[in-house]
Amino acid sequence: MEAQENIENEKKYNKWIVALSIIIPVAVAALFGIKLKDFGVDIEPLTFLPPIYATINGLTAIVLIISVNAIKKGNRKLHEKLNKFAIALSVSFLLMYIAYHMTSNSTTFGGEGIIKYVYYFILITHIILSIAVIPFVLITYVRAISNNFLRHKKIARITYPLWLYVAITGVIVYLMIAPYYA
């Protein structure tokens, strides 16, 4: 009976999960192409943001690793706090990423040869998985707050490596393109 009740608690969040999983990538894509200067907003390019949001990606990866270690040691409260922190970090990253791209021109990768293909492989997988991980993070979180820990654990085994990959590759993409920032 309790398991069914937990699933019912999850279901009330499904519309939000679907909506956010669509709205976030669409909004990022739309805002990525908008420059505030085009709307008469006189703002200096926020060129200081990339190293900050790359650091946030790195911190997210560290927090995720510590979080998994905490739950493996049975420390559910720490695990919960760290995952909430990881979500907050990801939201902070996203806001800074959008702000940067709304005020600055995109930087073109200048590497040549095999490194160019490596860069674009990492970049493309990073982008695709950063979109794909959104519903996984939301579902994993909802299952936890709905006290459906068996289902939470099952999906967390998928969410964790995806989210970790996105966080780590975010740092790698930054490090690879940093020499080409204007």
Q: Catalogue the E-assigned strands of 55-96.
A: none
What percent of the chain clears pLDDT 90, i.e. is strictly above it?
A: 79
Q: How would you class 19 by CB atoms within 10 Å of its CB: exposed for 0-12, middle for 13-18, buried for 19 or more?
A: exposed
- Our count of domains for the chain comes to 1
Domain of residue 143, CATH code: 1.20.120
Query: In the predicted model, is pLDDT for residue 59 greater than 80?
Result: yes
Q: What integer best gives the mean pLDDT of the chain?
A: 93
Q: Which residues neighbour 5 within 8 Å (Cβ) at sequence distance 6 or greater? A: none
Spatial separation of the C-alpha atoms in residues 137 and 18, rounded to whole Å: 12
pLDDT (0 to 100) of residue 121: 98
Considering only 5-14, 54-63, 76-85, 98-107, which range has the smallest mean pLDDT?
A: 5-14
Tell me the pLDDT band of 96, cut-offs 50, 70 and 90: very high
Spatial separation of the C-alpha atoms in residues 28 and 24, rounded to whole Å: 6
Q: How would you class 59 by CB atoms within 10 Å of its CB: exposed for 0-12, middle for 13-18, buried for 19 or more?
A: middle
Spatial separation of the C-alpha atoms in residues 41 and 23, rounded to whole Å: 25
pLDDT (0 to 100) of residue 149: 92
Domain that residue 130 falls in: 2-180
User: What pLDDT, in 10s, does the model give residues 36-55?
Assistant: 888 888 889 999 999 999 99
Query: In the predicted model, is pLDDT for residue 11 greater than 90?
Result: no
Spatial separation of the C-alpha atoms in residues 84 and 88, rounded to whole Å: 6
> What pTM was computed for the model?
0.91
